Amino acid sequence: MTGIICGTGSYTPSYVMDNNEIATMVETNDEWIKERTGVAARHIIKDETTVSMACEAAKRALADGRVDAGEVDLIIVSTISSNIILPCTACEVQKELGAKGATCFDLSAACSGFVLAYNTALAYLFGGVYKTALIIGSESLSNLTNWEDRSTCILFGDGAGAAVMKAGEGRTYLPVTYSDGMKGKALTCSSRHALADTCRMKDPEYYIQMDGQAVFKFAVKKVPEAVSEVLEKNHVEKEEITWYILHQANRRIVEAVAKRLDEPMEKFPMNLQEYGNTSSASIAILLDEMKKDKRLKSGQKIVIAGFGAGLTWGASIIEWG
């Protein structure tokens, strides 16, 4: 028994902020941003929220998988940027879908969140606890972005991606996941809800702060290690892998991971040029794009790998259904 992805969906806001627009806010330019990150634009919420984007991506995933909301037993939303704390975002999705039979909870693991949501749903399906799961990554990082900090505001974007998983016959691949709370200060953001004084909203600590070089070094070392380990653990050769779908943080990180794994860049699809870093939504949005344009084919083995604040990182192997 395993969990098989049978439908995907995504939602990205229609408002597109390109690098030239960012250059009107902070001292930067299109060439610098593209060269250092690969990002050309990002989609930014106007009327949308983390909840509304999660709901839309979920509806699209259910429609794509031809799964009725009544069949869904489990909804997991991965987010660090919801517009609500209570009820959880997953319960709001349940309400919108009318998925009355679902157990719902949110998961917070930043840019590793979608991989962890996949692993969690897989464990429930593998164990026979549930038959149908909906996993969603939804982020409004623009709300956590300090638009006066050029070292971070160039990186992030908003959006949501979702996948429906069904229990079925097949092999279950064991994931590799790690956390290192001791290195947490590399990427931080304090909770607005701890604010006693709303004037302090201007304090940088209430926005994403990052030691960019530390995060970069962490990612290019730990992601290839996790990918190699997940292959070895499951006795899968890298030649069997069609795609490595990494969290979309930075083109240079993806290129460095490909180089360290000695694998061709063609196996590392990217859409960060259009969306920036959408944290836990990034892998799900890319999976949806690749399913829709038919790059994903039945039987392909895919590695997904996430990394980010915590620090957290991990990799899983998906056999496409």
Report in angstroms the alpha-carbon separations of 271 from 43, 52, 251, 275.
Answer: 12, 22, 9, 7
Residue among 50, 95, 66 at smallest CA distance from 8: 66
Give the nearest distance from C-beta 276 to ligand ACO in angstroms: 10
Q: Which is nearer to ligand ACO, 113 or 269 (CB)?
A: 113
Interaction of residue 296 with ligand ACO, rule CB under 6 A? no
Give the integer Cα–Cα distance in Å for 238 and 262: 10
Q: Which is nearer to ligand ACO, 78 or 250 (CB)?
A: 250
Binding-residue pattern over the window 88 to 117 for ligand ACO, x denoting contact by CB under 6 A: ----------------------xx------
Computed on alpha carbons and rounded to an integer, the radius of gyration of the chain in Å comes to: 18
CB 93 within 8 A of CB 77: yes
Binding-residue pattern over the window 164 to 193 for ligand ACO, x denoting contact by CB under 6 A: -----------------------x------
Interaction of residue 246 with ligand ACO, rule CB under 6 A? no
Give the nearest distance from C-beta 238 to ligand ACO in angstroms: 24
Three-state secondary structure along 266-296? Answer: HHCCCCHHHHCECHHHHHHHHHHHHHHCCCC
Position among 97, 249, 256, 287 found at the interface with ligand ACO (CB under 6 A): 249
Q: Which is nearer to ligand ACO, 132 or 146 (CB)?
A: 146
Q: How many residues bind ligand ACO (CB under 6 A)?
A: 24
- Determine which one of 19, 104, 189, 247 is catalytic: 247
Give the nearest distance from C-beta 215 to ligand ACO in angstroms: 4
Give the nearest distance from C-beta 186 to ligand ACO in angstroms: 9
**Residue with the CB atom nearest ligand ACO in the bound state:** 212
Residue with tokens 């009355």: 100
Residue 247 bears catalytic tag: yes
Residue 6 bears catalytic tag: no
Give the integer Cα–Cα distance in Å for 299 and 272: 26
List beta partners, residue 139.
Answer: 159
User: What are the start-end ranges of the H helices in the chain?
Assistant: 19-22, 30-37, 50-65, 89-97, 113-126, 212-233, 251-261, 272-275, 282-292
DSSP track, 221-263: HHHHHHHHHHHHHTT--GGGEEEEEE--S-HHHHHHHHHHHT-
Report in angstroms the alpha-carbon separations of 38 from 57, 118, 157, 184, 261.
Answer: 25, 27, 13, 25, 20
Length of the chain, in residues = 321
Give the integer Cα–Cα distance in Å for 187 and 81: 15
Residue 111 bears catalytic tag: yes
Binding-residue pattern over the window 22 to 61 for ligand ACO, x denoting contact by CB under 6 A: ------x---xx--xx------------------------
Give the nearest distance from C-beta 67 to ligand ACO in angstroms: 30
- Determine which one of 6, 111, 153, 189 is catalytic: 111
Give the nearest distance from C-beta 26 to ligand ACO in angstroms: 7
Q: Which is nearer to ligand ACO, 10 or 277 (CB)?
A: 277
Residues that bind ligand ACO (CB under 6 A): 28, 32-33, 36-37, 110-111, 150-151, 154-155, 187, 210, 212-213, 215-216, 249-250, 253, 277, 279, 308-309
| Catalytic residue annotation | 111, 247, 277
